[in-house]
Structure 1
Amino acid sequence: MTALMKRIFIASGKYKGRIAVAFVFSFLKGILKNAPIGLAFFVLSAFYHGTETPEMSLRIGITLVVILLIQMLFHNISDRLQSAAGFLLFADKRMELGAHLRKMPMGYFTEGNIGKISSVLSTDMVFIEENGMSVLADMMSYIFSQGILLAFVFYFDIWLGLAGLAVLFLILLVARGLKKEALEDSVIRQEQLENLTEAVLDFTEGIGIIKTYNLLGEKSQALADSFRETCRTSLEFEENHTPWQRGLNLVYGFGVVVVTALSVFLYFQGKLDVPYLVGIMLFVFDLFGPLKALYGQSARLTVMDSCMDRIEAVFAEQELLDIGREDIPEHSDAPEVQFEHVSFAYGEKDVLRDITFDLEKNRMLALVGPSGGGKSTIASLLARFWDVKSGRILVRGKDVRNVPLSQLMDHISMVFQRVYLFQDTIYNNISMGRPGASREEVMEAARKARCYDFIMALPEGFDTVVGEGGASLSGGEQQRISIARCILKDAPIVILDEATASVDADNESYIQQAISELCKGKTLLVIAHRLNTIRHADKILVIAGGEIEEEGTHEDLMEKGGIYRKFVTARENSRGWSRVTDRPFIPLL
């Protein structure tokens, strides 16, 4: 338990001072809590020896009232200091976690860790925040009180003190087994809560697909099974904990019997006076009370220990290093983007092998090929969502690993098919592209993105709050707002995963116009899905199996008659790459 206190104290950072002061007041509260026992012994001794007086009784009564009031004051101060520190500490911890997650490679979020992050935020941190500091205050009070009571017993008689100390060690021995059992079960309990969180997220995020394919019963059953497993795990935690707690209660009772019997024996042996015997009888049933109360908190303490393990594990995850100090030059003779013998792997699985290409300024490079070939990975590596396994990626001649991440992202805008809008006003969703932009600049970006008119038709215009993820808007409207965000950002490099691939025909024309505005005077890296996009690229890379199979212009590749031509022919026949049109998708410069 002291180890847990030390962990929380170390984690408390700048709030250590508050907690240390709170410990002092807990210590003083522990002394005052046991002061009435000393006063009672003093009164009994006075009665026994016939030295009591009305004045003495009045003074003792006043002293008891003062002690009670001071004890209440110290309790209030201790709770205020520690409880406030707990909420302040974990407010800071959440911000630290947000900053930590911001620096994590994207692979961390795609490896099943969303449930873990949600569980740490909504379960582990909340549990310690609400229980941790109050439990710490109680622990300190119990430990101090137990020490004071044991000192009283030694004052009465050394043999009684030694007997109390022996019982204390027996309690600690049983409590050690309780702690080990409870800690193992608390790990299982918290992991199951994480599984439940993940199951709930999976169900709610996939509810549309679940209903579409009539899987409601099956998926609901899976969620219900997760709830039942959580219930079973929690009950098992309590069932495994109960025998140890029962054993501790028996040891407490045994300790009381031993001290009482020894006191009576010492009295008949003439080694203990009546006032001392009565004094012991006054508090013998409370002698091990603080320790009993302390280990009554063992379930919460072990869960807190497990929560601390899980929180620390997330913070221990390796961040993407951001130690670059080189600046991307405003002008450079080097290509805008260069991949030099780039290889990359997700864990042990190779995804890209020896990728090399140049992309000149104000030119367009299209990536085509089968799903899973590595196209999106190339785009993600350029944005440094991950670091390469080997090779280099350069922007204007600078290795992206040697450039501050914030500066790199200032040079890149990204538009993907799947759009995410925050639960905030439309204005704020657009302005995050460039937070310092004026309101007129935000509105101009909306006009260029062809979303100004439908925004102004909303009840609150630009101050309309959209649902989380943009749920209150259509897919095409969400897409145009995300493009407005990129237009406002005005980054020189645009990564484009064709935004019209999954929108209706009415929105497609508007989105094409919006993207045309976005791409004017920009360097484009396009993950291409449609033939009319590919035809106008300056260079096309055919990515398959993590390698560049072919490269060249549309005409060059069609003449070669290789994989690209077969791919295009198959797509044209199935009308999968394009609702074939002669209208250019992106007008170039």
Structure 2
Amino acid sequence: MNRKPMNVMFNLIKLVGPLVPVMSIAVITGVIGFLCAIFIPVLGAYVISGLSYSFTTFVYLILAMGLLRGVFHYIEQLCNHYIAFKILALIRDKVFMKLRELSPAKLEGRKKGELISLITGDIELLEIFYAHTISPVLIASLTVIIMVVFISHYNIILGLLSLIAYVFVGVVLTFVSGKRNGTLGDDLREEASYMNSFFLESLRGIREVLQFNYGQKRLDKLSELTDNVNNMKKKVALNTGFNSGLNGVSILLSSTIFFGVSVYLYKNGQVSLEGVIVPTVAMFSSFGPVIALSRLGVSLSSTIASGKRVLDLLDEEPITEDIYDKESVQFEGVKLDDVSFSYDDEMILDSIELEIEKGKIFGISGKSGSGKSTLLKLLMRFWDVNDGKIAISDRDIRDINTSDLRNIEGYMTQNTYLFNDTILNNVKIAKLDASNDEVIESCKKASIHDFIMTLPKGYETNVGELGESLSGGQMQRISLARAFLHSGDIILLDEPTSNIDSLNEASILKSIYENRGSTVVLVSHRISTMKICDHIFKLESGRMS
């Protein structure tokens, strides 16, 4: 989606709405805090210019302003970061809800490292916008107005000069630094995202890397990616240093010009000695708020790019919308009526006709890529059909509540994902309120119970990240146990015995056959697996026979 930077900022600012009172406190305390800091040297300028008040009073005023500066700055930062972290928590919640809404159709094929960078890096970078951009801009604007009015009451020319200097440092230099930085911040993020994906992929494939002596090549590539990221970071650091130096030179030059003009006005009798010293000191000491703005130039482009990616994700439309508030349906069978489906321009299923009767076991066989797994995903409504209709109990599944559909259907995929948790909790995700006895019964049906009981901690054994402590067959049987525990009206099994030996296959098939309370759709390459099916269909070139 092509978003302009101002549009991105406007949409990000809208999220502050409920926190405007806190933002107001941050701005007010920020302005007062800066004024306290500015007027410490201004008080000294008054003394130098001949203003008579006691030394004790002068010391008390300096101490009071120093103390108030610290207190108000603390309150300002507290409010800003409260706003930032509150909104970031809200954005994270929105992002996770959106990812759930988009999955699995919109997330298949996306780089996991890219998603991780968005969830972590991009959202974290927005902290700069909420804590160090919005209120600093308002604080700088109000402080500049106050200081221009203060200086102008000595001489309007000096007031205009100070305004030009503030605008040049706070606006022009911010724009210049942003232009100089260009897309470097965005490019750095993209390169870091690719490096993260590559590193994550290397970790997951570490056994294959070691087995085929592929380590040195992966290491060389990782070193190359690391060097690219480091070089980009050096460029960002150089730009930051250049911008900081440019700020310093600009402030020194503008203050020198300001002093020269004030001296000229003094010689011409247009201002007093106080009108030279106090405004000069006031302007020189009041660049703090606008310097904070000029420093945003380097990071702001990256922040806007991150905001754009987050907003683009939040605005992305799911392939299938969740359905709510429809009348519940009782499962009486499934019918596919002239169903066709394609991924982009590639036809996967063409004019499929199939009736799945309640309580029967249906087998679907076919070559890899023939559309067997896609057919199960369509039954789950992960995608919607392009043509035709899938109906449960004569009702189009597009008119069935998504939660009801998930309860009716149990689904075991080819690729089992296990969380870094106990075996018990990994099985229970299929039914969170299941008792331990129910979990054990499901594991017995999946022929995994005996193995679990050989483990020192039994069902409380942690499977490790991605189930790394288990074999492929053991992971598959845990996935099958989930399907049994879910106990839907129809169970969709995608290659349930592909990684399982013949003895365990026979036991699992016996459990499936005896579980006649549920309708079963069984996808498999194995002829032996198909023997328990009441009906067997073959998919070939997208057509059913």
Please confirm whether the aligned pair reaches a TM-score higher than 0.5, indicating the same fold. Answer: yes
- What is the rounded CA distance, in whole Å, between the counterparts of 1:328 and 1:231 in structure 2? 57
Distance 1:261 1:391 in 2: 82
Alpha carbons of structure 1 residues 371 and 2: separation in structure 2 relative to 1, 3 Å: closer
In 1, Cα distance between equivalents of 2:353 and 2:98: 32
Q: Is the 8 A contact 1:256 1:284 kept in 2?
A: yes
- 1:32 is aligned to 36
CA 1:28–1:288: 2 relative to 1, 3 Å = closer
Map of 2:274 onto structure 1: 275
User: Quick one: structure 1 residues 510 and 43, their matched pair in 2 at CA, closer, same or farther if it must change by over 3 Å?
Assistant: farther
* C-alpha contact 2:447 2:504 (8 A) present in aligned 1: no
Distance change in 2, residues 1:82/1:170 (3 Å): closer
Could you give the per-residue CA deviations for residues 223-275 of structure 1, whole angstroms, max 9, x where no partner exists?
22222222233333444566555545443333122211101111111111111
Q: Secondary structure at the match of 1:541?
A: strand
| Equivalent residue runs for 1:220-369 within 5 Å | 220-239=219-238, 246-319=245-318, 320-330=320-330, 332=332, 336-369=333-366
* Shift in CA distance, 222/473, structure 1 to aligned 2, threshold 3 Å: same
Q: Is the 8 A contact 2:148 2:160 kept in 1?
A: no
- The verdict on how the C-alpha distance between 1:2 and 1:354 changes in structure 2, with shifts beyond 3 A counting, is closer
> Do residues 540 (structure 1) and 536 (structure 2) align?
yes
- Which segment is superposed worse, 127-136 or 218-227? 127-136
**Cα pair 1:483 1:514 within 8 Å, conserved:** no
* Residue 575 of structure 1: aligned partner: none
More moved, 486-495 vs 17-26? 17-26
Match of 2:495 in 1: 498
Q: Are residues 534 and 458 of structure 1, via their aligned partners in 2, closer, same or farther at CA, if it must alter by over 3 Å?
A: closer
Aligned residue among 368, 382, 385 for 2:382: 385
Match of 1:441 in 2: 438
Q: Does 1:375 align with 2:372?
A: yes
Structure 1 unaligned spans of 5+: 552-589
Residue deviations 1:165-220 (CA, integer Å, cap 9, x gap):
23344443343232234242222222222212221222222222333333222222
Q: Residue deviations 1:108-160, cap 9 Å, x none?
A: 22222423211111211123337741454544444443333333322221111
Secondary structure (helix, strand or coil) at the match of 1:340 reads strand
Please say if 1:520 is aligned against 2:524. no
- 1:412-461: CA deviation from partner (whole Å, max 9, x where unpaired): 11123321111112222122211122333333333333333333332333
Paired position in structure 1 for 2:23: 19
Instruction: Please tell me the residue identity of whatever aligns with 1:402.
Output: D
Q: Distance in 1 between matches of 2:26 and 2:401?
A: 42
Kindly tell me: are residues 505 and 105 of structure 1, through their superposed partners in 2, closer, same or farther at Cα, counting changes over 3 Å?
Answer: same
Q: Secondary structure at the match of 2:520?
A: strand
Alignment check: 8 A CA contact 1:342 1:393 kept: yes
Cα distance in 2 for residues equivalent to 1:454 and 1:23: 63
Whether the aligned pair in 2 keeps the contact of 1:342 and 1:356 (CA below 8 Å) is: yes
Which of 452, 455, 458 is matched with 1:458 structurally? 455
Deviations 1:303-339 (A, max 9, x none): 211211111122122123113433442254xxx1122
Match of 1:155 among 153, 156, 163: 153
Q: 2: distance between equivalents of 1:536 and 1:132?
A: 61
SS of the residue 1:107 aligns to: coil
Residue identity in the other structure for 2:147: L
Pair 1:79–1:516, CA change in 2 (3 A): farther
Q: What is the deviation of 1:7?
A: 4.4
Structure 2 match to 1:192? 191
For the 8 Å contact 1:496–1:525, the answer to whether it is kept is yes
Counterpart in the other structure of 1:426: 423
Q: Distance in 1 between matches of 2:231 and 2:79?
A: 37
Closer, same or farther in 2 for the Cα pair 1:253/1:215, shift >3 Å?
A: same
Cα 1:256–1:235 change in 2 (3 A) is same
SS in 2 for 1:391: strand
C-alpha distance in 2 between matches for 1:489 and 1:329: 18
Contact 1:446 1:484 survives alignment (8 Å): yes
C-alpha contact (below 8 Å) 2:41/2:285 kept by paired residues: no
The equivalent of 2:469 in structure 1 is 472
Equivalent residue letter for 1:545: S
For 2:164 and 2:180, how far apart are their aligned partners in 1? 23
Does the 8 Å contact 1:328/1:396 carry over to 2? no
Offset of residue 284 of structure 1: 4.2
Could you tell me how far 1:510 is from its partner in structure 2? 4.8
Equivalent-residue separation in structure 2 for 1:325 and 1:281 (angstroms): 69
**Partner of residue 565, structure 1:** none
Q: Is residue 68 of structure 1 aligned with residue 66 of structure 2?
A: yes
- Distance change in 2, residues 1:506/1:263 (3 Å): farther
Secondary structure of residue in 1 paired with 2:222: helix
Q: Distance in 2 between matches of 1:525 and 1:248?
A: 69
Aligned length: 539
Q: Which residue of 2 aligns with 1:86?
A: 84
- Secondary structure at the counterpart of residue 106 of structure 2: helix
The alpha carbon displacement at 1:58 in A equals 2.8
Structure 2 SS opposite 1:537: coil
Contact 2:391 2:397 in 1 (8 A): yes
Q: CA 1:506–1:298 in 2, change beyond 3 Å: closer, same or farther?
A: farther
1:59 aligns with 2:57: yes
| Amino acid paired to 2:399 | N
- Asked whether the 8 Å contact 1:476–1:511 carries over to 2, the reply is no
- % same residue: 26
**Paired position in structure 2 for 1:102:** 100
Q: Report 1:395-414 matches (<5 A).
A: 395-414=392-411
Q: Is the 8 A contact 1:492 1:523 kept in 2?
A: yes
Equivalent position amino acid for 2:76 in 1? S
| Residues 273, 229 of structure 1: alpha-carbon distance in 2 compared, 3 angstrom cutoff | same
Contact persistence 1:326–1:398 (CA under 8 A): no
What is the RMSD of the two structures over their aligned residues, measured on CA atoms? Answer: 2.7
392-401 vs 504-513, which moves further:
504-513
1:327 and 1:428 mapped to 2: Cα distance?
Answer: 32
Cα distance change, pair 541–12 in 1 and its aligned pair in 2 (3 A)? farther
**Structure 1, 181-190 or 373-382: larger mean CA deviation:** 181-190
Using a 3 Å threshold, how does the CA distance of structure 1 residues 4 and 362 change in structure 2: closer, same or farther?
Answer: closer
Which of 480-489 and 60-69 deviates more? 60-69
- Which stretch has the larger CA shift, 489-498 or 207-216? 207-216
Report the 3-state secondary structure (helix = DSSP H, G, I; strand = E; otherwise coil) of the residue aligned with 1:494.
strand
Q: What's the secondary structure of 1:106's corresponding residue?
A: coil
User: Which 10-residue stretch deviates more, 187-196 or 244-253?
Assistant: 244-253
Counterparts of 2:399 and 2:464 in 1: how far apart (Å)?
38
Q: 2:276 corresponds to which letter in structure 1?
A: L
Work out whether residues 360 and 516 of structure 2, in 8 Å CA contact, stay in contact via their aligned partners in 1.
no
C-alpha distance after superposition, 1:323-373 (max 9, x if no partner): 3433442254xxx11222222222333322222211111122222222112
Aligned-partner Cα distance in 2 for 1:155–1:416: 76
CA distance in 1, matches of 2:251, 2:500: 71
Give distance in 1, aligned partners of 2:519 and 2:497: 20
- CA gap of 1:232–1:340, structure 2 versus 1, over 3 A, is farther
